[in-house]
Amino acid sequence: MSRSQRSSSHKQDPYRAIKKINNYKAMLNKNDQVIVLFL
């Protein structure tokens, strides 16, 4: 069971990262001023 859970978690990690990147891109596209604030 532990091995299956680990493999599933590893497979879900990249998808989560892609979702986060997509969310960041959407936020930047909507508000360009956010970039200035972070810089």
DSSP 1-39: -HHHHHHHHHHHHHHHHHHHHHHHHHHHHH-THHHHHH-
Q: Could you give the CA distance from residue 18 to residue 26 in angstroms, rounded to a whole number?
A: 12
Q: Please give the tally of structural domains in the chain.
A: 1
pLDDT tens digit sequence for 25-37? 887 777 666 666 6
Question: Pick from 38, 35, 10, 14: which is nearest to 25 by CA?
Answer: 35
pLDDT tens digit sequence for 1-24? 556 556 655 567 888 888 988 888
* pLDDT score of 15: 87
Residue 33 belongs to domain spanning: 2-38
Q: Could you give the CA distance from residue 22 to residue 1 in angstroms, rounded to a whole number?
A: 32
